Homo-oligomer: A and B are copies of this chain.
Amino acid sequence: MKISEKTSYEAWLRYEAVENDALRANYRLRCSVIVSAEQTKVLGTAAKELAEAVQAMTGHVPDIAAIRDRQIPCVIIGVLGRGDPEIDGTAGPDADELGSEGYVLRTLKGQQGEADCIAIVGASDRGALYGAFHLIRIMQMRDSIEDLHIVEHPVNGLRMINQWDNMDGTIERGYAGKSIFYRNNGFVEDFTRIRDYARLLASTGINAITINNVNVHREETNLITAEYEQTLSKAADAFGAYGIKLFLSINFASPIAVGGLQTADPLDPAVRSWWTERASELYRAIPEFGGFLVKADSEFRPGPFTYGRDHADGANLLAEALAPHGGVVIWRCFVYNCLQDWRDRSTDRAKAAYDHFTPLDGRFADNVILQIKNGPMDFQVREPVSPLFGGLKDTNQILELQITQEYTGQQKHVCYLVPLWKEVLDFDTYAAGEGSTVARIASGALHNRSYGGLAAVSNIGDSACWTGHPLSQANLYGYGRLAWNPALSTEQITAEWIRLSLGSDPMVEDVVSGILLRSWGIYESYTSPLGVGWMVNPNHHYGPNVDGYEYSKWGTYHFADHQGIGVDRTIGTGTGYTAQYHSPQRELYDSLERCPDELLLFYHHVPYTHVLHSGKTVIQHIYDTHFEGAEAAAALLEAWQSIRGRIDEAYFELVASRLSEQREHAKEWRDVINTYFFRKSGIADRQDRLIY
């Protein structure tokens, strides 16, 4: 790595020397020694991480000791319930709030001339590691570490990352270079970068990862065989040192593809025993293995439908094999007819997940978790929340988000997704009355489920800054923080990320937070309007193409004609999709008058002259947002220019070049969309701006 790339590579684990002498001396004093009585792998990581951070920020190399010298200030790292009365005593009544992964971070006042110390008390090794990263974060933020009393635990049990990496080194929907895991149909030799990735993830609280694409191709199908046991074990160790469990995406047809069986029928005894045997082998090699992620009967992937079985049969087959080892099956609900006829307006892809999975509620084994995308379609810049979240009570479920910016600018445009995710998490399904938010369903709290959490598709690759666009790091960071606690505010997460990554200059924080917080709205404004989605070039999904998917088999249509646009999903005259929501959401969306503007075209087909709540017609809204959006994109670059010299130069230039590309590409979006609708509707822009 070149020195100039160091800042963006470090991301939010950037440890600059503390500028203020008194504060630096205080940090140095308080962290003179790190005491860790136990010698587990994860506690070792915690001590080492803290020591490295202290050294970088203060210049002092803390000793790591097993026994405390009570005359010297120190940081004690320990785990509850392992026989150390001081550790257990530190937590005290807080212990009840820690769950299995929480921690207490607390200053213990020295008695009778002894030195004060800071205790990091985890409910588990992993909890202690999170506590250590918390202490580091406080120092990165230049906050005080005197008189600490912090009690934290993650709201979600599963905080997962999905890598869509292929073993040939490519990444499906990857916009940040090649895979850091694979090359030439094998693992990379050097795991340094994998370990550095584990650090970044663990520092935000991530505790699970799948390391291969949900579309499991030929070579990847072999990952569950003996051939890869040794390398997988090495990968599991790299992540395990940071408290992250390794999962694999598997091919449902594995019994045929690698097992030599004639069938993959989930009810076939030979298939069942094959999976059982395979799971046992995997756990023998990797005792900490997490389980399987499965995309089945989806976009040409094999699944139980082939054998006349349903998804519960399929998932329970794998659950049975994993259960003896404590493993779980994560089963994706992204199932729909991807060979739809565009002429057929009765089939509605948005309805598919609900229709497939609600009838199966209660039939899944205890260690099966359904993974549900945030929207009913596919990670559009704007779509409603999937009604499946209100449709399951007796089933474990987690929320799937997409950090990689497939439909949101592909890390060439800045599009900060935390505000979008917050809207999803805060959405009230009314499944069990008011307050039945997606956050509470996903965490498992609402229905008191044994498993819950979040999963998200990673946005990293071997790009020098991990994410191609440095500002896209904020999405990865923000995802981890929200997975930890969905109640965190966007503003807090944004401020944290900026200060950790770019320092504490208030002007930098002001400018960068302004860019981030406006970015989703800006991207939406110059792309697909009013929730209708798509309008992108097929396959790669970059750049405008209004009819790109209009005559395709993918079920993603806008139905624009010379009079109007939108999809009628109402109960009375449309596809009936709105009926999948509980009241009052159902009635809200079903009503042409009350439907929120930003989702109008998702739910209703309206004339271009339809007047929005904003007071504008649909066509004028399209023109205005696209002209304004392109201007706003240009203003992002101008804003960024104002902090030149205040941050690392290489970082600055990298972002500037991306913002410059965004500015130009936003004009292309503006002109293609406006021209398309002007040519189609014949309705002139009221402001008489140039439309081609």
- Chain A interface (Cβ < 8 Å from any Cβ of B): 342-343, 537-538, 544-547, 551, 560-563, 668, 671-672, 675-676, 678-682, 692
Contacts and interface: CB of A to CB of B under 8 A. Distances in A.
Contacts of A676: 547
7 contacts: A343-B671, A551-B668, A551-B671, A561-B680, A562-B562, A562-B682, A679-B680
A679 B561 CA distance: 4
A413 to B, nearest CB: 18
B682 A563 contact: yes
B562 A681 contact: yes
Nearest to A667: B343
A623 to B, nearest CB: 15
A680 B562 contact: yes
A682 B562 CA distance: 6
A675 B676 CA distance: 16
Contacts of A672: 551
B544 A545 contact: no
Contacts of A678: 561
Nearest to A671: B343
A676 B682 CA distance: 15
This chain: copies in complex: 2
A180 B545 CA distance: 38
Contacts of A668: 551
A90 to B, nearest CB: 64
Contacts of A342: 692
Contact of A544 (B551, B679, B692): B551
A551 B682 contact: no
Nearest to A539: B539
A680 B550 CA distance: 13
B544 A547 contact: no
A671 B550 CA distance: 12
Nearest to A683: B562
A239 to B, nearest CB: 38
A342 B676 CA distance: 12
B692 A343 contact: yes
Contacts of A560: 679
A474 B65 CA distance: 86
Nearest to A690: B343
Contacts of A561: 678-680, 682
A538 B342 CA distance: 19
A537 B549 CA distance: 11
Nearest to A682: B562
A675 B681 CA distance: 15
Given A546-B547, A547-B547, A547-B676, 11 more contacts: A342-B692, A545-B547, A551-B668, A560-B679, A561-B679, A562-B562, A562-B679, A562-B680, A562-B681, A562-B682, A563-B682
A618 to B, nearest CB: 16
A672 B548 CA distance: 12
A546 B546 CA distance: 11
Contacts of A551: 544-545, 668, 671-672, 675
A668 B341 CA distance: 10
Nearest to A544: B551
A561 B683 CA distance: 11
A546 B560 CA distance: 14
A538 B560 CA distance: 21
Nearest to A563: B682
Contacts of A680: 561-562, 679-680
A18 B189 CA distance: 68
Q: Which of A538, A563, A679 has most B Cβ within 10 Å?
A: A679
A678 B681 CA distance: 13
Contacts of A675: 551
Contacts of A682: 561-563
A352 to B, nearest CB: 21
Contacts of A563: 682
Nearest to A560: B679
A655 B563 CA distance: 44
Contacts of A562: 562, 679-682
A342 B544 CA distance: 13
Nearest to A343: B692
Closest A-B pairs by Cβ, 3 of them: A561-B679, A562-B682, A343-B692
A681 B342 CA distance: 20
A561 B680 CA distance: 6
Nearest to A543: B551
A548 to B, nearest CB: 8
Nearest to A668: B551
A551 to B, nearest CB: 5
A551 B547 CA distance: 11
Contacts of A671: 343, 551
A537 to B, nearest CB: 8
Contacts of A537: 538
A676 B343 CA distance: 12
A342 B537 CA distance: 16
A343 B608 CA distance: 24
A344 to B, nearest CB: 9
Q: Which of A551, A668, A671, A678 has most B Cβ within 10 Å?
A: A551
Q: Which of A562, A671, A681 has most B Cβ within 10 Å?
A: A562
A561 B681 CA distance: 8
Nearest to A546: B547
A673 to B, nearest CB: 10
A267 to B, nearest CB: 36
Nearest to A559: B679
A364 to B, nearest CB: 39
A95 to B, nearest CB: 62
Nearest to A344: B692
A675 B560 CA distance: 11
A667 B511 CA distance: 55
A544 B547 CA distance: 11
Contacts of A547: 545-547, 676
Nearest to A562: B682
